[in-house]
Amino acid sequence: MSKYWSDMVKRTDPYKPGEQLNNPRIIKLNTNENPYEPSPSVKKAIVDEMDSRLQLYPSPTADGLRSTIAGALNVSMEEVFVGNGSDEVLAFSFMAFFQPGKTIRFPSITYSFYPVYSKLFAIPYEQVALNDDFTIDGEALFGSEGGVILPNPNAPTSIYEDLSSIERIIENNPDTVVIIDEAYIDFAGPSAVELIHKYDNLLVIQTTSKSRSLAGMRVGYAIGNRNLIEALTRIKDSFNSYTVDRLAMVAAKAAFEDKAHLQETVGKIKATRDWTVHELEQLRFDVLPSSANFLFATHQSVKAVDLYDYLKKEGILVRHFNSPRIDNYLRISIGTDEQMRVLVEKIGKYV
């Protein structure tokens, strides 16, 4: 092995995804999937597409899907990029906008993929501590050398930062790209997409995996100034121009077209979220204020890792991070009402 590659292997600590178990009886609340199926029109679109077109390559420019997304978000098609899940869009963005030798910044408690990509692409990074209440310290992200990335709402904290704070971070990084990862934005307040015409250094990344129930199809997208989108397209075409397959494309398009289904399922998840927070607080949990489809909670006297083990034995999977400051918290995805009722009942027996 050449020296460069052996060093790369040493510095790269691959991302460890949440467990995906085959047992369908498990109540799976560990990877922030949507408990509801996608819009019925998604299945129909997939079946129609399967009739005779699978032998043909998909459109490399994904025009149909990009124009649907553009229409839904009030931007133009040239301001939209699509990829194989937002994880791929994030990877392309790290390659396109961040560079070795220039330190980027992101919050210390955040999506664990960011340090993985930074190490992989040899991009130095600084992890900026969160405030005591787990909100993001915006000013600490001002004036970065190489760029900024943060999720809004943040994960795993579930906290949403107002658009005015996000705007100040963008304004105070005029010479670098600021990436706002909005995987959970449909469960929260307004999106930063409305700022892309004001700031040409802003890239917003979203996904169909959460609010639109399409985690299994892998479709994510970025919205930003057309020069940023052009840069992403160059990266994509240099690897594999066909990053989104035919079935994923028609599925995502159908999901975007069914606004009523989105509103209904997001509404149900938010109501279940509020109910679960109330019940957990009764059981003496402190729950961070959630604007996402998951909760981040700590119990006043029970150790998180013990509760995690107990729940797993009882057939409920949640997420525990063995990291400083959050090792006594559990991240719990919002499932159906029935799943959350079982969760609360089991926890009630333990604490």
**Residues linked to residue 319 through DSSP beta bridges, in sequence order:** 331
- Cβ–Cβ under 8 Å, residues 333 and 32: yes
Q: Could you tell me the smallest distance in angstroms from the CB atom of residue 349 to ligand PMP?
A: 30
Residue of 27, 31, 267, 279 whose CA lies nearest to 156: 31
Residue of 183, 191, 175 whose CA lies nearest to 142: 175
Provide the 3-class DSSP secondary structure of residue 267.
helix
- 184 vs 285, which CB is nearer to ligand PMP? 184
Residue of 205, 215, 161 whose CA lies nearest to 180: 205
List binders of ligand PMP among 79-118 (CB under 6 A): 85-87, 111
- In this chain, which of 220, 228, 266, 347 binds ligand PMP, going by CB under 6 A? 220
DSSP state of 192: G
Residue of 275, 290, 261 whose CA lies nearest to 40: 261
List binders of ligand PMP among 153-192 (CB under 6 A): 155, 181, 183
- In this chain, which of 39, 207, 290, 293 binds ligand PMP, going by CB under 6 A? 207
- 30 vs 173, which CB is nearer to ligand PMP? 30
- 111 vs 117, which CB is nearer to ligand PMP? 111
Instruction: List Cα–Cα distances, 261 to 16, 191, 195, 225, 295, in angstroms.
Output: 32, 19, 26, 30, 23
CA distance 227 to 200: 8
Strand pairing report for 294-299 and 285-287: antiparallel
- 184 vs 199, which CB is nearer to ligand PMP? 184
DSSP state of 254: H
Q: Could you tell me the smallest distance in angstroms from the CB atom of residue 122 to ligand PMP?
A: 22
List binders of ligand PMP among 135-154 (CB under 6 A): 151
List binders of ligand PMP among 25-84 (CB under 6 A): none
Q: Could you tell me the smallest distance in angstroms from the CB atom of residue 60 to ligand PMP?
A: 20
Query: x/- string (CB under 6 A) for ligand PMP, residues 300-329?
Result: ------------------------------
- 209 vs 233, which CB is nearer to ligand PMP? 209
- Interface with ligand PMP, residue 215, by CB under 6 A: yes
- 161 vs 181, which CB is nearer to ligand PMP? 181
- b/e 331-347 (16+ beta carbons within 10 angstroms → b): bbbbbeeebbebbbebb
**Residues in binding contact with ligand PMP, number by CB under 6 A:** 12
Residue of 67, 81, 73, 71 whose CA lies nearest to 228: 81
Q: Could you tell me the smallest distance in angstroms from the CB atom of residue 35 to ligand PMP?
A: 15
* Residues composing the chain: 351
List binders of ligand PMP among 227-286 (CB under 6 A): none
Q: Could you tell me the smallest distance in angstroms from the CB atom of residue 6 to ligand PMP?
A: 29
- 176 vs 293, which CB is nearer to ligand PMP? 293
Residue of 305, 306, 310 whose CA lies nearest to 321: 305
Q: Could you tell me the smallest distance in angstroms from the CB atom of residue 116 to ligand PMP?
A: 12
CA distance 16 to 116: 10
- 211 vs 299, which CB is nearer to ligand PMP? 211
From the list 44-52, 207-215, 255-263, 327-335, the region that binds ligand PMP by CB under 6 A is 207-215
For the purposes of burial, counting CB atoms within 10 Å of the CB of 238, is it exposed (0-12), middle (13-18) or buried (19 or more)?
Answer: exposed
- 119 vs 341, which CB is nearer to ligand PMP? 119
Q: Could you tell me the smallest distance in angstroms from the CB atom of residue 214 to ligand PMP?
A: 8
Q: Which residues sit at the interface with ligand PMP, rule CB under 6 A?
A: 85-87, 111, 151, 155, 181, 183, 207, 209, 215, 220
